[in-house]
Amino acid sequence: MREIEVTNMSWGMRIAVALGMALALGLAAAFVVLALGLAVLLLPFIAVVLAIGWWRWRKIEAAARKARMSEAAPPTAGYRVIEAEYEVVPGPDGPRRR
């Protein structure tokens, strides 16, 4: 592997290395600032999407709860219960039940 010794560099090369390091650090800092700025800009959109999702989820839960309650509820006045006597007639081997 190649080694670079700073002592053997000329002043122009030292300045170029310092400028390169400064440019790299500046680009890294700019990337961090850009990423944080983008995250801050997206926060309101994410909040709106989460609020809509929460509202729809509550709506679905309420509909499911209502369906469960209507299945368990006794029939309303619009329905009639008809009672009738019946007799189960089995085959020739079994007894008759009533």
Query: What integer is the mean pLDDT of 22-43?
Result: 95
The radius of gyration of the chain from alpha carbons, rounded to an integer in Å, stands at 40
SS3 97: strand
Helices (H), the chain: 11-72
Instruction: Take residue 59 and report the two structure tokens written for it.
Output: 């709506």
Q: Which residue has the higher pLDDT, 48 or 93?
A: 48
Q: Is the dihedral of CA 28, 29, 34, 39 positive or negative?
A: positive
User: What is the residue-averaged pLDDT of the chain?
Assistant: 84
Per-residue model confidence as pLDDT tens digits over 62-89: 999 888 887 766 656 667 778 888 877 7
Q: Please state the domain extents for the chain.
A: 1-98
pTM over 0.85: no
d(CA 94, CA 81): 31
| Residue 67 near residue 73 (C-beta atoms within 8 A) | no
